[in-house]
């Protein structure tokens, strides 16, 4: 009875504390022409800043709170850098905390060292949803603090600018984890669509297709290896790429971390006439064992994956893009008459991670849930008749 009474008192105090914290949280509103920096200085931990739809010019700032939500309302507001930056780094700098940024467009970040970012993320946990990063030297750029975690969902990254040094649409440093879901990356320019030095990478249901005018080097690069789970993505290289590899793993060596690369139910497309390396694993640079599984992938266009003999029987197929409905307009499902339908294998699990796709990418961004088919097909999309 005493134990039960103590538990009830603890629960009551927890409820009181939660109510007190909720009651103290405030909502701050920033309209076009008002100061975002002032709102960021005024907001307390747990508050929400609502950015009203419209054009916000030269509104930059630092998020120093331990908990904060910054949300666009009434439509998607646009933060134009317009030559300004916070601390010479970015439109927004996230210092250290649990921060959620939702429904905001970041545009035109430029700084003298060519690393100007829409968001510069330093420490803590940053969650970005329904945002857009257009014409920035880096869309999102992180620091190298090993405990930081970045999650990006249902967001668009595009139009890497010319005249700057290796602009990346998303560049994660040596952080703990990067999770990308339902995003769209296109329009690279010499840099990469996604580059991540994190120890763990979860890349699911994204569209990383450079597009006809794109000039990205890699579409997806893990230069130091790590644990990478790449599931249900469309990864497409343009004819103007400076590098034949679409997915690169370990090109810059390792720091002794464990390595695993699991690439399952993706659609790789080479749009050029130069043969591509769809998946390139640099074992010579890593000088370590790499746990690898390639299963149910479509490799379309000229090129080969860096596959082992054991991968060849796991539902991976080389073919022409004509096996799809119409890749030029984003219809990446297998053609109804394709003989590849139903010729995949069970995706399986690895290191406690389920590799079975449970969603598919939707245009332009986002995901939709799917049911497991009776027989899996290769590629990022399962034919409707198999559901």
Find out whether 155 and 186 touch, Cβ atoms under 8 Å: no
Q: What's CA 229's distance to the chain center, in Å? A: 12
pLDDT tier at 9, thresholds 50, 70, 90: low
Residue range 49-75, pLDDT digits in tens: 999 999 999 999 999 999 999 999 999
Q: Say if residue 364's pLDDT is above 70.
A: yes
Residues 74-99 have a mean pLDDT of 97
% of the chain surpassing 90 pLDDT: 82
The pLDDT score that the predictor gives to residue 242 is 86
The pLDDT score that the predictor gives to residue 10 is 56
Q: Say if residue 282's pLDDT is above 70.
A: yes
Residue range 330-363, pLDDT digits in tens: 999 999 999 999 999 999 999 999 999 999 999 9
Find out whether 120 and 85 touch, Cβ atoms under 8 Å: no
- Rounded distance between C-alpha atoms, residue 351 and residue 284, angstroms: 24
Longest Cα–Cα distance of the chain, Å, equals 77
The pLDDT score that the predictor gives to residue 311 is 81
Q: What is the DSSP string of 175-244?
A: -SEEEEES-EE---BSS-SEEE--SEEEEES-EEE--TT-B-S-SEEETT--EEEEES-EEEE-TT-SSS
The pLDDT score that the predictor gives to residue 23 is 52
Q: Say if residue 4's pLDDT is above 90.
A: no
Residue range 217-265, pLDDT digits in tens: 999 999 999 999 999 999 999 998 888 999 999 999 988 899 999 999 9
Domain segments of the chain as ranges: 28-386
The pLDDT score that the predictor gives to residue 212 is 85
% of the chain surpassing 70 pLDDT: 93
* Tokens, residue 178: 């990067």
Residue range 133-185, pLDDT digits in tens: 999 999 999 999 999 999 999 999 999 998 777 789 999 999 999 999 999 99
pLDDT tier at 313, thresholds 50, 70, 90: confident
Nearest to 181 by CA among 167, 201, 195: 201
Q: Which CATH number fits domain 28-386: 2.160.20.10, 2.40.30.110, 3.90.190.20, 2.60.120.560?
A: 2.160.20.10
The pLDDT score that the predictor gives to residue 17 is 46
């Amino acid at each position: 009875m005493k134990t039960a009474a103590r538990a009830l008192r603890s629960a009551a105090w927890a409820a009181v504390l939660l109510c007190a914290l909720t009651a103290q949280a405030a909502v701050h509103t920033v309209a076009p022409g008002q100061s975002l920096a002032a709102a960021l200085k005024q907001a307390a931990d747990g508050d929400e800043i609502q950015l009203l739809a419209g054009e916000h010019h030269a509104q930059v700032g630092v998020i120093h709170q331990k908990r904060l939500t910054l949300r666009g309302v009434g439509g998607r507001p646009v933060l134009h850098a317009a030559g300004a930056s916070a601390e010479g780094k970015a439109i927004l700098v996230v210092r250290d905390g649990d921060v959620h940024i939702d429904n905001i467009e970041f545009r035109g970040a430029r700084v003298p060292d060519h690393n100007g970012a829409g968001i510069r993320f330093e420490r803590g946990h940053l969650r970005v949803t329904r945002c857009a990063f257009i014409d920035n030297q880096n869309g999102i750029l992180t620091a190298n603090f090993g405990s930081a975690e970045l999650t990006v969902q249902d967001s668009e990254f595009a139009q890497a600018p010319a005249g700057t040094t290796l602009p990346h649409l998303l560049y994660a440093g040596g952080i703990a984890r990067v999770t990308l879901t339902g995003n769209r990356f296109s329009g690279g320019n010499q840099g990469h669509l996604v580059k991540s030095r994190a120890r763990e990478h979860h890349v699911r249901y994204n569209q990383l297709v450079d597009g006809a005018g794109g000039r990205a080097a890699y579409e997806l690069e893990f230069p130091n290896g790590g644990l990478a789970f790449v599931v249900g993505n469309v990864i497409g290289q343009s004819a103007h790429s400076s590098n034949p590899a679409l997915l690169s793993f370990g090109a810059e060596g390792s720091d002794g971390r464990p390595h695993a690369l699991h690439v399952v139910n993706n659609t790789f497309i080479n749009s050029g006439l130069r043969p591509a390396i769809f998946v390139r694993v640099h074992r010579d640079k890593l000088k370590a064992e790499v746990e690898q599984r390639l299963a149910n992938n479509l490799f379309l266009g000229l090129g080969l994956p860096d596959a082992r003999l054991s991968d060849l029987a796991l539902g991976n197929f080389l073919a022409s893009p004509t096996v799809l409905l119409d890749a030029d307009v984003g219809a990446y499902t297998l053609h109804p008459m394709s003989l590849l339908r139903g010729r995949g294998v069970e995706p399986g699990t690895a290191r406690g991670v389920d590799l079975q796709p449970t969603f598919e990418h939707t245009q332009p961004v986002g995901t939709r849930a799917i049911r497991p088919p009776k027989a899996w097909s290769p590629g990022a999309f399962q034919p409707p008749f198999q559901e």
